[in-house]
């Protein structure tokens, strides 16, 4: 390779370098121009404040969140008893007689408390269950009621609860009553509750 070739090669390389520099400048200028155009054409929202607010709300809800137990309710309509006759002075006002459909005998279920307040003795009609754990008493009550409600045609229950009976035991008995199906296929819903004196109070 002679010297002319070397000069021409270095010249070409120099030209290439200049071209590269020019291209770089052009690209940079065009990028600066693009950025300048963009600065005027678009609006950038400041998200910081909104994010702060959103996270504060989120923290509040997380801290106050209380996942409750699965609660439900046993609904009952318990009207106040009215006397059959309302008398004042010489006037005696009789309430209208009940319709024939209203004549039905309630199934009387009495629940006596044990010393701990659980169900200790349960009487259904003429049957009596006692001297067994409470769970067994509820099972016996259930089987007895199934036959009585479906076959004997009782459509209401008069529940006599020992005044010393615990609320939970009362609700267990109510639960057994509301599980019963009438002869018509409907669920038993008519339950009246009244208290009786405790065996332990006598």
Partner 1 sequence: MSGSIEGADQCEPNMVPILDMVFQLITFFMLVINFKATAVDRELNLPVIGSARPVEEETQGEMLVLNLRANGEVTARGKVQPNIEGFIGVEARTTASVKGLPFGSPLPVMVVIRADRTITVQSLMKVVNACRSNGFDRFDFVVIRSGKPKAG
Binding-site ranges for partner 1 (CB under 8 A): 31, 35, 47, 50-51, 54-55, 57-58, 61-62, 64-66, 68-80, 117, 161-168, 170-172, 174-176, 178-179, 187, 189, 193, 195
Nearer to partner 1, 150 or 160 (CB): 160
Please list, in sequence order, all residues whose beta carbon lies within 8 angstroms of the beta carbon of residue 94, skipping any fewer than 6 positions away: 84, 85
Cβ atoms of residues 103 and 94 within 8 Å? no
Under DSSP, the state recorded for 128 is E
Distance in Å, CB of 20 to partner 1, minimum: 19
Closest to 178 (Cα-Cα) out of 132, 147, 146: 146
Distance in Å, CB of 57 to partner 1, minimum: 5
Distance in Å, CB of 99 to partner 1, minimum: 20
Nearer to partner 1, 17 or 179 (CB): 179
Give the C-alpha distances (Å, rounded to integers) separating 179 from 3, 88, 106, 175: 112, 44, 16, 6
Nearer to partner 1, 77 or 99 (CB): 77
Distance in Å, CB of 199 to partner 1, minimum: 14
Nearer to partner 1, 128 or 135 (CB): 135
Cβ atoms of residues 187 and 177 within 8 Å? no
Dihedral over Cα of 4, 5, 10, 16: its sign: positive
Cβ atoms of residues 149 and 181 within 8 Å? yes
Distance in Å, CB of 182 to partner 1, minimum: 13
Nearer to partner 1, 35 or 99 (CB): 35
């Amino acid at each position: 390779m002679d010297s002319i070739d070397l000069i021409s090669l270095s010249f070409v390389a120099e030209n290439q370098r200049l071209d590269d520099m020019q291209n770089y400048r052009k690209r940079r200028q065009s990028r600066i121009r693009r950025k300048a155009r963009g600065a005027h054409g678009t609006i950038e929202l400041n998200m910081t404040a909104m994010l702060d607010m959103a996270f504060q709300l989120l923290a509040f809800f997380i801290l106050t969140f209380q996942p409750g137990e699965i609660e439900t309710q046993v609904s009952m309509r318990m009207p106040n008893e009215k006397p059959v006759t309302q008398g004042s002075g010489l006037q005696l006002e009789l309430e209208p007689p009940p319709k024939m459909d209203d004549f039905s005998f309630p199934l009387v279920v009495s629940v006596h408390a044990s010393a701990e307040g659980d169900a200790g003795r349960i009487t259904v009609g003429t049957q009596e269950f006692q001297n067994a754990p409470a769970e067994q008493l509820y099972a016996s009550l259930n089987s007895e009621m199934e036959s009585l409600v479906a076959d004997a045609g009782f459509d209401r229950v008069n529940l006599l609860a020992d005044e010393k009976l615990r609320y939970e035991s009362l609700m267990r008995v109510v639960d057994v009553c509301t599980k019963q199906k009438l002869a018509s296929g409907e669920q038993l819903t008519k339950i009246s509750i009244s208290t009786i004196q405790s065996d332990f109070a006598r």
